[in-house]
C-alpha cells in the first residue's frame, strides 16, 4: 500500500501514489467529500460532509489558527530537501483553488528516510497531518496555489526540522498524467 521506494545507487526514487484514506491512514486524514459521512442541511439546499479531520491543537493551551499558504509550484522531478514535524499539533492543508499538490510523509517517531512515502492530492483533496507525522513543506504542482491551513497558535516550539542528506538525492516521481 502506498508508494514504492527504490534505492538506485545514491538516488532514492519514490513513486507518488494517488491519495486515498486507506493509504494515508497512518499519517492522518484525507479531507474530501468522496466516501465521507454526509447529510442534508439548509432545507435540502446543501450537503454537509461532516467532521473530516481530527484537529489536535489544544496542547499547552494552544488554539486553532486558520491561515492561507501561497506557494510557488515545484519543478519535476521533485528532489526533497527537508522534512518537518509539528510535535504539539495536527496541521490541515486544503487547496483553495483546486490546485494539485504533492504530499510527502514519513511515520511519526524517529525520522527514517527509507520510510518516506509520497501521495498525489488531486483537486478537492486536502490532508490533515496527525501530530508528530513527518512531512515535506508544501509542494504545489503546476501553478501558484493558495491553500487553507488549520494548525496551532500558542506558546512553544512546534516545528522540528531534519535536513535530508543531499548526496542521497531523494526524488519523487509523479505519474505521467500529473506532469504539467
104 belongs to the binding site for its own copies (CB under 8 A): no
Nearer to its own copies, 9 or 75 (CB): 75
4 belongs to the binding site for its own copies (CB under 8 A): no
Task: Write the CB contacts of 160 (distance below 8 Å, at least 6 apart in sequence).
Answer: 84, 85, 86, 87
Grid coordinates representing 164 are 535530508
Cα(16)–Cα(23) distance, rounded to whole angstroms? 11
Q: Which of 11, 13, 49, 79 binds its own copies (CB under 8 A)?
A: 49
Smallest separation (angstroms) from its own copies to the CB of 108 = 20
Nearer to its own copies, 2 or 28 (CB): 28
Cβ atoms 128, 86 nearer than 8 A = no
1 belongs to the binding site for its own copies (CB under 8 A): no
Q: Give the helix/strand (H/E) hosting 90.
A: none
Cα(10)–Cα(83) distance, rounded to whole angstroms? 19
63 belongs to the binding site for its own copies (CB under 8 A): yes
Q: How many other CB atoms sit within 10 Å of the CB of residue 147?
A: 20
Grid coordinates representing 74 are 515545484
Q: Look at strands 134-135 and 101-106 and give their pairing.
A: antiparallel
70 belongs to the binding site for its own copies (CB under 8 A): yes
67 belongs to the binding site for its own copies (CB under 8 A): yes
106 belongs to the binding site for its own copies (CB under 8 A): no
Q: Which of 109, 124, 156, 166 binds its own copies (CB under 8 A)?
A: 124
Q: Give the residue carrying C-alpha cell 491519495.
A: 19
111 belongs to the binding site for its own copies (CB under 8 A): no
Q: Which of 72, 109, 143, 180 binds its own copies (CB under 8 A)?
A: 72
Q: Give the helix/strand (H/E) hosting 69.
A: strand 63-71
Residues lying near its own copies in the complex (CB under 8 A) are found at 31-33, 36, 41-43, 45-53, 55, 57-58, 63-72, 74, 81-82, 92, 94-98, 123-124, 126, 128, 137-138, 140, 146, 148-150, 153
Amino acid at each position: 500500500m502506498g508508494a514504492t521506494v527504490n534505492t538506485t545507487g545514491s538516488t532514492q526514487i519514490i513513486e507518488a501514489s494517488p491519495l486515498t484514506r486507506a493509504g494515508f491512514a497512518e499519517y492522518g486524514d484525507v479531507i474530501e467529500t468522496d466516501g465521507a459521512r454526509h447529510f442534508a442541511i439548509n432545507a435540502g439546499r446543501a450537503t454537509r460532509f461532516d467532521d473530516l479531520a481530527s484537529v489536535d491543537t489544544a496542547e499547552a493551551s494552544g488554539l486553532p489558527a486558520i491561515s492561507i499558504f501561497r506557494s510557488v509550484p515545484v519543478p519535476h522531478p521533485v528532489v526533497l530537501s527537508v522534512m518537518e514535524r509539528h510535535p504539539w499539533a495536527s496541521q490541515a492543508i486544503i487547496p483553495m483553488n483546486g490546485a494539485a499538490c504533492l504530499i510527502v510523509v514519513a511515520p511519526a517517531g524517529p525520522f527514517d528516510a527509507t520510510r518516506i512515502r509520497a501521495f498525489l492530492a488531486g483537486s478537492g483533496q486536502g490532508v490533515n497531518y496527525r501530530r508528530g507525522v513527518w512531512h515535506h513543506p508544501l509542494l504545489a504542482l503546476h501553478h501558484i496555489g493558495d491553500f487553507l491551513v488549520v494548525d496551532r497558535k500558542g506558546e512553544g516550539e512546534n516545528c522540528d526540522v531534519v535536513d535530508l542528506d543531499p548526496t542521497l538525492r531523494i526524488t519523487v516521481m509523479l505519474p505521467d498524467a500529473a506532469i504539467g
